Amino acid sequence: MNPNLPNIGIDFGGTSIKLAVVKNGELITEIERIDTQAFDGPDALLDEIVREVKQFQEQFPAISAIGIGVPGTVDFEEGRTNNLTNVKGWTSVPLRDLMVEKTGLPTVVENDANCMAYAEWACGAAQPFQNAVCVTLGTGVGGGLILNGALYRGATYAAGEIGQMSIDYDGVEGPYGNTGCLERYIGNRQIAELGAKIYAEHGEEVPGELSPARLAELAGKGDHCAQETWQRVATYLGANLMSIIYLLNPEAIIIGGGVSYAGDLLFEPLQKRLRESLTPECFDALKVVHARYGNTAGIIGSAALATDLFCADC
Amino acid sequence: MNPNLPNIGIDFGGTSIKLAVVKNGELITEIERIDTQAFDGPDALLDEIVREVKQFQEQFPAISAIGIGVPGTVDFEEGRTNNLTNVKGWTSVPLRDLMVEKTGLPTVVENDANCMAYAEWACGAAQPFQNAVCVTLGTGVGGGLILNGALYRGATYAAGEIGQMSIDYDGVEGPYGNTGCLERYIGNRQIAELGAKIYAEHGEEVPGELSPARLAELAGKGDHCAQETWQRVATYLGANLMSIIYLLNPEAIIIGGGVSYAGDLLFEPLQKRLRESLTPECFDALKVVHARYGNTAGIIGSAALATDLFCADC
């Protein structure tokens, strides 16, 4: 591939659609934003996306491909969305073909968590690894797998749903009847609720409205309830990652998303748990690292995917 | 590959080493057995293995490769055992090179659970699938992964350790400090203990010594405690498989080993749990099937691996 070519990355979210031009793993334009909910159905929204794409093309005539990450699973071969989380009217839309038709540019459509994993692998923290598990911790818990030096998609392109995995056969029920669903333990809201519960357990007053960011701030100042909250998050996440590591024996776990900004509050107890629960063989071969990209991972990953797919001989 | 060539498969177990000649996924000789514990250290044991190999060669001069499955992880590139479970003196033995030196035949050394998975994929129940998860239920719980149409080994060739995965972040501890270790819930001995506990819970007398086979027999006759035991086993195994399916989105789960002979007593509640806890997208694409091979899987898989590796152009 030739990563020096500018290409367009599009992070299609339920709230906003973010677009930018990416070159060599970096944004080379400002991020343009479209309010997803302001447009009625795919047609109007697509016209708006195409308008932005054409402005980028005028600025950078060398643009030769588009990558789009969407919040849901896709039929990767067909370039068709199955269903988009929190966006109505997008069931079975042939997004790739519509984009190709309207822009003339080859387009790839991929699940957003896979795009984030791809960003880390193509240009970020997973770059040196043949086998890496990328986890995104935020409102939900997402994931993407790099196996044998390629993005692994699975039978129906639905692999990497780390947030839906179980950490307790008799635990909290997830959205699909999946008992012990990880996301229901360490999603943003659940971490806040866990924090409140721990303050209550210790008979201490909750210091205002809790969020992962606030709990990280409090823990950093030495608040022991907030620290215990992060320890507990590490216990939940550690049980899940341990399982993944026994199954896939990866070289690296890449952790990104808002919650990961808790830094060592999360990473230290997590490392400790992994060291205490893995064979030396698996643990010694393993690196647990921070993702390189934050909010831009979806844009950068989708663009990198487009570059690798369509510009191999550019 | 040319599966019609006869090659030697060796299933290296802690109790006995089983050897046979395999052609086209079938044994074409009786199984020869060596008592693993009757020989002191690798040298004497290897001489005995080589003696058997030479007898096979006299019988089938077309034999051109050897596959060996061992009970432990191996450095696959180097053909070296890391450590063999229940066999002393086998730490870091260059088994492949020793065999090549002593027999003149190209040899491959692989983990035994991976050989079983390979048997199913090369000639058995996993044959039609690009992505399949093979689970072996017996004294322990083993596994092997076929991903993107190839055996997946991981960073240090230790992938597929399904038995060490966690089904409860706060559960029973496994051999490596791995809390909630699946094997500690559904290994042979644990199923027997679970059965005894369920009879006790119902205030019923335990009908003699329990084992998975006995519990299957009792359940088949309508014994409700035995039936409940299998339901519980399905709950544990189901939580684990659900996690694996969300992660890997495979086309098939192949279940083998002694416990799998419980048949529908296990498979029916397992299917039900998976249907109730997976997205339709994952469940509809999934087949849960019985392994084709029983005790011969290790021999057949190791021979098939040797054939595929060394006889591509034979």
Cβ contact (<8 Å) for A247 and B247?
yes
Do residues B136 and B277 share a domain?
yes
Do residues A283 and A300 share a domain?
no
The single residue listed with the structure tokens 């692989």 is B110
Q: Best mutation site among B194, B233, B242 for testing chain A: the one with the most A CBs within 10 Å? A: B242
Distance (Å) of CA B5 to CA B65, B104, B310: 9, 17, 11
Q: Indicate which CATH number applies to the domain containing B219.
A: 3.30.420.40
Q: For the residues of chain B, what is the DSSP string, one character each?
A: --TTS-EEEEEE-SSEEEEEEEETTEE-SPPEEEEGGGS-HHHHHHHHHHHHHHHHHHH-TT---EEEEESS-EETTTTEES--TT-TT-TT--HHHHHHHHH-S-EEEEEHHHHHHHHHHHHSTTTT-SSEEEEEESSSEEEEEEETTEEE--TTS----GGGSBSBTTS-B-TTS-BTBTHHHHSHHHHHHHHHHHHHHTT----SS--HHHHHHHHHTT-HHHHHHHHHHHHHHHHHHHHHHHHH--SEEEEESGGGGGTHHHHHHHHHHHHHHS-HHHHHT-EEEE-S-STTHHHHHHHHHHHHHH-TT-
Q: Give B23-53 pLDDT, tens digit per residue.
A: 999 999 999 999 999 998 899 999 999 999 9
Do residues B95 and B169 share a domain?
no
Chain A residues with CB under 8 Å of B251 CB are 155
Do residues B261 and B248 share a domain?
yes
Residue A2 lies in a domain: no
Find the closest chain A residue to B168 by CA distance: A168
Q: Looking at chain A, list the stretches that DSSP marks H as alpha helix, in order from N- to C-terminal side.
A: 41-59, 95-103, 112-123, 183-186, 188-201, 212-220, 224-248, 264-277, 280-284, 297-310
Residue A1 lies in a domain: no
Do residues A45 and A146 share a domain?
no
Chain A residues with CB under 8 Å of B235 CB are 169
Find the closest chain A residue to B278 by CA distance: A176
Q: What percent of chain A has pLDDT over 70?
A: 98
Cβ contact (<8 Å) for B161 and A248?
no
Higher pLDDT, A51 or B14: A51
The pLDDT confidence band at residue A16, using thresholds 50, 70 and 90, is very high
User: B244: domain range?
Assistant: 128-290
Residue A180 lies in a domain: yes
Find the closest chain A residue to B164 by CA distance: A246
Do residues B167 and B97 share a domain?
no
- Work out the minimum CA distance from B212 to partner chain A, whole angstroms: 21
Cβ contact (<8 Å) for B282 and A158?
yes
| Segment holding A6, helix H or strand E | none
How many other CB atoms are there within 10 angstroms of residue A222's CB atom? 8
Cβ contact (<8 Å) for A247 and B165?
yes
Chain B residues with CB under 8 Å of A241 CB are none
Cβ contact (<8 Å) for B239 and A166?
yes
The pLDDT confidence band at residue B4, using thresholds 50, 70 and 90, is confident
Q: Give B216-273 pLDDT, tens digit per residue.
A: 999 999 999 999 999 999 999 999 999 999 999 999 999 999 888 899 999 999 999 9
Nearest-CB residue to B276 (from A177, A242, A244): A177
Q: What is the DSSP letter of A158?
A: -
pTM of the model: 0.96
Cβ contact (<8 Å) for A277 and B235?
no
| Segment holding A172, helix H or strand E | none
The single residue listed with the structure tokens 């459509």 is A109
Residue B123 lies in a domain: no
How many other CB atoms are there within 10 angstroms of residue A88's CB atom? 12
Nearest-CB residue to B242 (from A162, A166, A171): A166
Cβ contact (<8 Å) for B248 and A152?
yes
Residue A122 lies in a domain: no
Do residues B91 and B134 share a domain?
no
Chain A residues with CB under 8 Å of B236 CB are 169
Residue B2 lies in a domain: no
pLDDT at B314: 58
The pLDDT confidence band at residue B137, using thresholds 50, 70 and 90, is very high
Find the closest chain B residue to A284 by CA distance: B156
Nearest-CB residue to A239 (from B162, B169, B176): B169
Degrees to nearest 5, angle at CA A188 with A182 and A192: 105
Q: Give A209-246 pLDDT, tens digit per residue.
A: 999 999 999 999 999 999 999 999 999 999 999 999 99
SS3 A61: coil
Cβ contact (<8 Å) for A169 and B279?
no
CA–CA separation, B129 vs B151, rounded Å?
12
Do residues B132 and B111 share a domain?
no
Task: Tally C-beta pairs within 8 A across A and B.
Answer: 171
Do residues A133 and A201 share a domain?
yes
The pLDDT confidence band at residue A314, using thresholds 50, 70 and 90, is low
Residue B97 lies in a domain: yes
How many other CB atoms are there within 10 angstroms of residue A196's CB atom? 16
Do residues A251 and A175 share a domain?
yes
- The total domain count for chain A is 2
The pLDDT confidence band at residue B1, using thresholds 50, 70 and 90, is very low
Strand partners for B10: B19, B68
Residue A84 lies in a domain: yes
Do residues A149 and A90 share a domain?
no
Nearest-CB residue to B277 (from A155, A157, A176): A176
B/e letters for A46-70, b = 16+ CB within 10 Å, e = fewer, are bebbeebbeebbeebeebbbbbbbb
Do residues A283 and A150 share a domain?
yes
Q: For the residues of B93-156, what is the DSSP string, one character each?
A: --HHHHHHHHH-S-EEEEEHHHHHHHHHHHHSTTTT-SSEEEEEESSSEEEEEEETTEEE--TT
Nearest-CB residue to A249 (from B155, B239, B286): B155
